[in-house]
Amino acid sequence: MKWTRDARPRRIVVISTGGTIASRWTGAGYAADASGDDVVATAAVPDAVDVEVLDLFNVNSSRMTTERQLILLRAVHETLADPGVDGIVVTHGTDTLEESAFFLDLHHSDPRPVVFTGAQRPFGTGDGDGPGNLYDALQVAATVRGLGVLVVFDGLVHAARGTVKTKTLASDPFADPSGERVGRLGFGQVDIEREPVRPAPLPVPGALDTPPRVDIVMHHSDGDPLLLNAAVAAGARGIVLVGTGAGNATPEIAAAVGDAVSQGVLVVLSTRVASGPVAEVYTGGGAVDLAAAGAVLAGTLRPGQARIALLAALLADVGPGERRVALLRSLLDGPVRAESSLAAAH
């Protein structure tokens, strides 16, 4: 399905958060310091698009935090409270873009698009990819509706859910290893090939003093429960266990998962494998035992986005216990009936 726009001007707000697209040489490496206006000034703007810039913060995205993601989430919702805004583009570093985009998508209830983009080559370089990516993101934000939060990079359109950084330095760093892209751009048109399936959106979390701690622990050939137990002792309210294969560990780790769950800690089981689902296949500390101990399987979500789903469940205004676990399952499953998420949240 090709999306084309009528001649009506579109008002797009660019929210700048830093990243490589805003990074300049410091003498010892690149660091984000260019303003949103500077970044926008490098790019052509599609016809009939009026751009406004909001400088939110300016950091390398490896320094992203839950506090900053909540600030970004609220800024997006406040911006969309203006009915005259047609869409939003978020410029963001690529290291944690997959986490911030998915976090916003889980809370995005507006048909107007929020489009994430960035760059793999720094601001102001002769071969920089930022200007082209920003142009494409503006084109998508001015054109589509009802697709949730999107990631636009290197002429491709991806759903926030499932899309992760699969290449460290290449110009096309993002893909969904277990799914398909949403579309592509070319010849002045946006070609949408599929509509993302999303759980029902969650309300924006209320103000809180300290976000819940959610840790990620990876299993390996010498893995033991030490780090998982340390996360519990440090006050983690949620833990993502990154298993091997289809989601496997050891009997000792399965016992530690059971202990953590008995203390009210939510545990999600993901995998270090690049694609495919977590599945209950093996015992002996495998996913069969981990699920029996109370771990919730992450489906095809990779560890970073599994952590975001867990974080969103903890931030949601629901009671502890079964309702929170039900909500977490719906966020991890993704393609579920919309009312299932709503029922879990109330």
Q: Where in the sequence numbering do the catalytic residues fall? A: 20
Collapsing DSSP states into helix, strand and coil, what is residue 101? helix
Contacts of 178 (CB under 8 A, 6+ apart): 162, 275, 276, 277, 300
Question: Cα dist. 304→29, 102, 132, 300 in Å?
Answer: 26, 10, 27, 12
> Going by DSSP bridges, is the β-strand pair 114-117/149-153 parallel, antiparallel, or unpaired?
parallel
Considering only CA atoms, which of 179, 190, 127 is closest in space to residue 155? 190
Structure tokens at 200: 């029902």
CB 178 within 8 A of CB 300: yes
DSSP for 240-282 reads: EEEEBTTTB--HHHHHHHHHHHHTT-EEEEEESSSSS------
Amino acid of residue 175: A
Structure tokens at 333: 């499953």
